[in-house]
């Protein structure tokens, strides 16, 4: 009896502690969540761009001392691409439990289109990302000697139209990576930050010598506020947004065709199932629930992780 009394007493104490903890938050949950998201996106975007800009500045200053207009050497290009890719991977991994680690208005648009982020939430997130971009560019400009050299600009004879479509395709690669590694649940979703970082790395390898590789309006807007706007600055907005729309179209098409049934063994729980013959009947293939089981258990970025099936079906975000 004494042990039962102790258990009841301990339960009451725990209940009182829980009530006190809840009362400690004087703000309503939706306001508190909004503050966390905005603050987290600012911190994550700032740290991502600050580290990236510092790395880019180092590469430019050591590329051809005394000749800032010299073309990038391959080593400098790799240094810049690594700075952006690694900085994004680390900060997405740090903040994906807090805000989802978007740090990019184009990615935010892509997530709004698939219902992973609410439109009203995006109205707070995007300005936060832009302000963080300005803060990062201004901080780097103030801390490092010499002029800030990280602003996006067309080079090597690239026309405005070419730059626009390059930005579109480079951004499409990034948003598709977010869709299929982070939004879609699978066994390797917890590694999504690495894939997203590699996507940004390869985008810089491909595009830096032509557009400077924006793929992120906040990345272009911040340095432009500090150093001045080029006349074609708009391509660093329109191109990434076009890329997000293109990725959304591809994603919706594949989802409508139930792409999971074309190769259903990729998320099999064990080697025997993975190596077993694939059923020829579409119905049998679709009945294989290995992928579904993994989807329901795999960790993912929080804008998808904490949604219920009902909320996801209705296009609602856990922050909306």
DSSP states of 195-232? HHHHHHHHHHHHHHHHH----SHHHHHHHHHHH---TT
Which residues have a Cβ under 8 Å from the Cβ of 265 and sit 6 or more positions away? 273, 274, 275, 276, 278, 290
Which residues have a Cβ under 8 Å from the Cβ of 156 and sit 6 or more positions away? 71, 209, 210
Among 306, 221, 242, residue whose Cα is nearest residue 37: 306
d(C-alpha 155, C-alpha 96), whole Å:
35
Cβ pair 103, 88 in contact under 8 A: yes
Q: What is Dmax (Cα atoms) for the chain?
A: 86
Query: What tokens appear for 133 in the block?
Result: 């971009």
Tell me if residue 149 falls in helix, strand or coil. coil
- Specify the DSSP element, H or E, that contains 194: helix 192-211
Phi, psi of 85 (to 5 degrees): -65, -45
**pLDDT beneath 70, residues of the chain:** 1-25, 66, 68, 268-320
Q: Give me the pLDDT at residue 295, please.
A: 47
Query: What tokens appear for 75 in the block?
Result: 């080593």
Tell me if residue 299 falls in helix, strand or coil. coil
Q: Give me the pLDDT at residue 269, please.
A: 55
d(C-alpha 147, C-alpha 245), whole Å:
35
d(C-alpha 100, C-alpha 114), whole Å:
14
Cβ pair 129, 38 in contact under 8 A: no
Tell me how far apart the terminal alpha carbons of the chain are, to the nearest angstrom.
49
Cβ pair 106, 170 in contact under 8 A: no
Query: What tokens appear for 101 in the block?
Result: 């680690």
Cβ pair 49, 132 in contact under 8 A: yes
Q: Give me the pLDDT at residue 278, please.
A: 54
Query: What tokens appear for 240 in the block?
Result: 């990434």
Query: What tokens appear for 177 in the block?
Result: 């990576």
Query: What tokens appear for 185 in the block?
Result: 């649940």
Cβ pair 111, 102 in contact under 8 A: yes
List domains and CATH numbers for the chain: 29-256 (1.20.1080.10)
Cβ pair 54, 141 in contact under 8 A: no
Q: Give me the pLDDT at residue 268, please.
A: 62
């Amino acid at each position: 009896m004494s042990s039962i009394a102790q258990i009841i007493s301990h339960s009451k104490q725990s209940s009182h502690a829980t009530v006190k903890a809840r009362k400690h938050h004087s703000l309503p949950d939706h306001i508190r969540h909004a503050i966390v998201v905005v603050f987290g996106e600012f911190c994550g975007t700032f740290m991502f761009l600050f580290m990236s800009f510092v790395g880019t500045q180092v590469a430019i200053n050591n590329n051809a001392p005394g000749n800032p207009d010299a073309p990038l050497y391959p080593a400098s290009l790799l240094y810049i691409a690594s700075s952006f890719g690694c900085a994004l991977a680390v900060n997405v991994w740090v903040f994906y439990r807090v805000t989802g680690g978007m740090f990019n208005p184009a990615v935010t648009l892509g997530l709004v289109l698939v219902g992973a982020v609410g439109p009203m939430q995006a109205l707070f997130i995007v300005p936060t990302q832009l302000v963080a971009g300005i803060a990062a560019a201004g901080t780097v400009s103030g801390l490092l000697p010499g002029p800030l050299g990280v602003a996006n600009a067309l080079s090597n004879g690239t026309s405005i139209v070419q730059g626009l479509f390059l930005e579109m395709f480079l951004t499409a690669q990034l948003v598709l990576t977010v869709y299929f590694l982070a939004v879609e649940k699978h066994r390797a979703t917890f590694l999504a930050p690495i894939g997203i970082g590699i996507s940004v790395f390869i985008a810089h390898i491909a595009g830096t010598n032509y557009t400077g590789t924006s793929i992120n309006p906040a990345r272009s807007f911040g340095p432009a506020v500090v150093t001045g706007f080029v006349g074609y600055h708009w391509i660093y907005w329109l191109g990434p947004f076009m890329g997000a729309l293109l990725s959304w179209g591809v994603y919706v098409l594949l989802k409508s065709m139930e792409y999971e049934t074309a190769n259903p063994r990729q998320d099999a729980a064990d080697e025997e199932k993975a190596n077993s013959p694939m059923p020829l009947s579409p119905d049998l293939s679709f009945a294989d629930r290995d992928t579904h089981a993994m989807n329901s258990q795999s960790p993912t970025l929080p804008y998808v992780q904490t949604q219920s099936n009902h909320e996801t079906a209705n296009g609602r975000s856990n922050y909306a």
